[in-house]
Amino acid sequence: MQSNGLDLDQLRAFVTVADRRSFRAAADELHLSPPALSRRIERLEERVGARLLERTSRSVQLSAVGEAFLDRVRGVLADLDGAVLGVHELASGHQGRVTVAAVPSAASGFVPRALARFAQAYPGVKMRLMDGSLQETTLAVLGGQADLGITFDDATVPGLQSTPLGDDPYVLALPADHPWATRPAIRLDELAALPLVGLHGGSGNRRLLDAQLKAGGLDLKPRHEAAHLQAVLAMVAAGLGAALVPQLAVSPALPGVAVRPLQGAPLTRVLAVCWSASRRLTPLAQRLIPELQQAFVG
């Protein structure tokens, strides 16, 4: 198959060699002999009129022209793959796969509801949900393991595009038998009197919360820490302290945990759907975004 006079097999061979930095490894991946792969690259270089790869006895490096050409080729192949997938969906009754990576509170909250509605509309589609930290989620989208990601809207990451879902305000989680559990609301400046449980300092949620508290003139450091919100809430239920958590993490209510709204400077995070800026979204992923938006608002 050819496009603009260029053989697509040659283009794919070039990208594979560029990624592997090895003719032998690329030949194994493409199920070609090394001489056959070399001939494809030579014919491609003849067609474009420039050397794309610099070969030595130990390694393969991209030339300056090869570096620029690689970005263009990736875009062409991504567009082609997206077009083929779209035709395949139409021909096969919307069969395919969509993968969503999400921070844990979203993965255990509104995202499954969106996937369930999507499955009813497209019963032939297989869906995969990856839950992980903010960093793990963004890396999954950037690396192509996930089509879409659910992250924080203010977590600007080069290479990602996003559209906001909406606000997820912070609330106070207390042990169910705590004296404050029946109060209508808790003032932020009262929290210094409580032992607090929180996420460890390296988490995206913790950094976001600390920045908002600092902007409001508060310095609330947790006495106890955990790596995930589920563990934080389990520690709250066990009576170790109270915790500032996103509303999404305690919807629905959890056994042993009382949730009270906060008074004072508003604390919130804005969630967003993100995708790779360098790859075209598949038609299925495009159709899933409105479902995620609808599930988030209820």
SS3 195: coil
* pLDDT reading at 213 higher than 70: yes
* The last residue of a domain, from among 90, 124, 156: 90
Task: Tell me the average pLDDT across 272-290.
Answer: 90
Helix (H) or strand (E) holding 127: strand 125-131
pLDDT score recorded for residue 79: 67
Res 27 pLDDT > 80: yes
Q: Are residues 9 and 86 in the same domain?
A: yes
Q: Kindly state the percentage of the chain with pLDDT values over 90.
A: 44
The answer to whether residues 181 and 126 belong to one domain is no
The answer on 202 and 112 residing in a single domain is no
For residue 77, what pLDDT is reported? 75
Tokens of residue 256, six digits:
């042993």
Q: How many domains does the chain have?
A: 3
The CATH number for 231's domain is: 3.40.190.10
pLDDT-derived band at 298 (thresholds 50, 70, 90) equals: confident
Q: pLDDT class for 2, splitting at 50, 70, 90? A: very low
* Phi, psi (deg, nearest 5) at residue 277: -75, -15
User: pLDDT tens digit string along 133-174?
Assistant: 888 999 999 988 999 999 988 666 788 999 999 999 999 999
Q: Which residues neighbour 78 within 8 Å (Cβ) at sequence distance 6 or greater?
A: 278, 279, 280
Q: Which residue has the tokens 């409001």?
A: 216
69 and 141 assigned to the same domain: no
Q: Which of 38-42, 89-93, 123-127, 194-198 has the highest mean pLDDT?
A: 194-198
Q: Domain of 38: which CATH number?
A: 1.10.10.10
Last residue of a domain, one of 41, 65, 90: 90
The answer on 104 and 183 residing in a single domain is: no
> Do 9 and 100 fall within a single domain?
no
> Domain of 283?
93-165+271-297
**Same domain, yes or no, for 46 and 104?**
no
